[in-house]
Amino acid sequence: MLSRSMSSHVKKHVRKNPQERREEILEATLRLITQYGLEGATVARIAAAVEITPGALYRHFESRAALIAEANRLANERALSWVEMSTSPDVVERLEEMADAHLAWTEANFSSVVLPFFLELASTPGAGLADGLTVTEFKSFRTLVEIAEEGRHQGVIRADVAPEDVAWALHMYAWAQDIALMGGAGEPDDRAPLRRNLQRLLESFRA
């Protein structure tokens, strides 16, 4: 039987395959961006968080900028889930249900996705994360464009409404809701004006 100290040593040095290690590094990066800000998420801190050396980290990512950009893409992948929370056949109703689902998604992903995203936007030019993706490349944005196109084919969204306008409208609502939550607007009455404005906007798209 291994002694406690020996079993602890063995556990600490269990090798992980490259994909597992990359995922661990990315998760740590998002946590550290939330905790310390973009500039504070240094290679040394990230490496320490996953118990490897900075040199070992560079075997998985060629540079800090590449790591930060990949973390941004991971956050973007997760950001798709709030636009997959409704299957209503009427596209306008589906968009409204998605918007309603966004608040719960924000609360569940505040530290791992939402806050790092806004820290990215507030970062200085050339810091790395801000160069990762543009809004129109977000999977959530592209998905909403497709849904809006479906709505035009259904005849429930006006033919003169650009699908991109619908996608921007939902993202602007989502971001306003995120900012309100960060500002302490946690009560339903605090968020009611946002919801009313969303309804007016969606109705303006309806055929």
Q: What is the pLDDT of residue 50?
A: 92
Most confident of 6-15, 59-68, 81-90: 59-68
Above 60 in pLDDT, residue 4?
no
Higher pLDDT, 101 or 7: 101
Could you report the per-residue pLDDT of 145-155, keeping only the tens digit for each?
A: 999 999 999 99
* Rounded Cα–Cα distance for residues 38 and 122 (Å): 9
Above 60 in pLDDT, residue 59?
yes
Above 90 in pLDDT, residue 157?
yes
Could you report the per-residue pLDDT of 123-145, keeping only the tens digit for each?
A: 655 444 444 556 777 778 888 99
Average pLDDT over residues 161-180: 88
